[in-house]
Amino acid sequence: MRIVKEIAGRICAAWALVTFIVTFILVLPFAFVSYLFPEPASTAYFIKVSRIWMHIWFFLIGCPIRVRGTAHFKKGAGYIVTCNHNSLLDIPLSSAFIPGPNKTIAKTSFARIPVFGWYYTKGSVLVDRKSETSRKRSIEKMKAVLRQGMHMCIYPEGTRNRTKEPLKPFYNGAFKLAEDTGHSIVPAVILGTKQAVPLNKPFFFLPRTLEIHFLKPVEVNGRNAAALKEEVFNIMKAHLEV
């Protein structure tokens, strides 16, 4: 039975990769149209295209999507969305299904991939973590995203969680951004991606239901980054442990 599961996981991974590439090629011309609009209309259009693409792709690979808590987003307000990070599936899930235009803080590595790198860059605020200059520029870019009424998605664990704990300790970035700008934080919990793409199995995927739950916003109310980080961490951990 284990051998059958291992074989099935590789076949499903191959199917997921092929369908990702094919659907990406088909959606790319529509995504290019986003450059005809100024911000934030440009990103709003881009995210709508991405959402359609992800609905199609997740359907093709057998992953139903469940999204809860979108009512927490007030129209016209920009939020800092903090997501847990377990899998490469987390970013396409969060980016496409956060309600409204949004950008994700992301590493520069994927931006170097020909053609796809453009798409990845359009939906991201890129940062080279090894460069102090890059980190400072990314902070200013994230503040600009929020000023334009868009949402800024941040993974406060920094990297995928390879521990047995529900969450890794959080970095300060998202919460310092909230402290500096006064923008509320929407904790978001992603479920199912760790099981669909286990971190300890190379080139392995098995279909399952994927979920993203947006929780009640955390207001800044003059609090510092440390206090915000502790509250958001506890909220997300409690939701994961239910």
**Both tokens of residue 65?**
């999507």
Bridge partners, residue 68, by sequence = 213
pLDDT band at 128 (very low <50, low <70, confident <90, very high): confident
Query: Residue 66 — very low, low, confident or very high, per pLDDT cuts 50/70/90?
Result: very high
Sheet holding 185-191, edge to edge: 65-68, 210-214, 185-191, 80-83, 151-154, 102-107, 124-127
Check residue 97 and give its pLDDT: 98
pLDDT of 129 > 90? The answer is no
Instruction: Please name each of the domains of the chain with its CATH number.
Output: 2-241 (3.40.1130.10)
Instruction: Judge whether residue 177 has pLDDT over 90.
Output: yes
- Residues 3-50 pLDDT 10s: 999 999 999 999 999 999 999 999 999 999 999 999 999 999 999 999
What is the overall mean pLDDT for the chain?
Answer: 96
Is the pLDDT at 2 greater than 80, yes or no?
yes
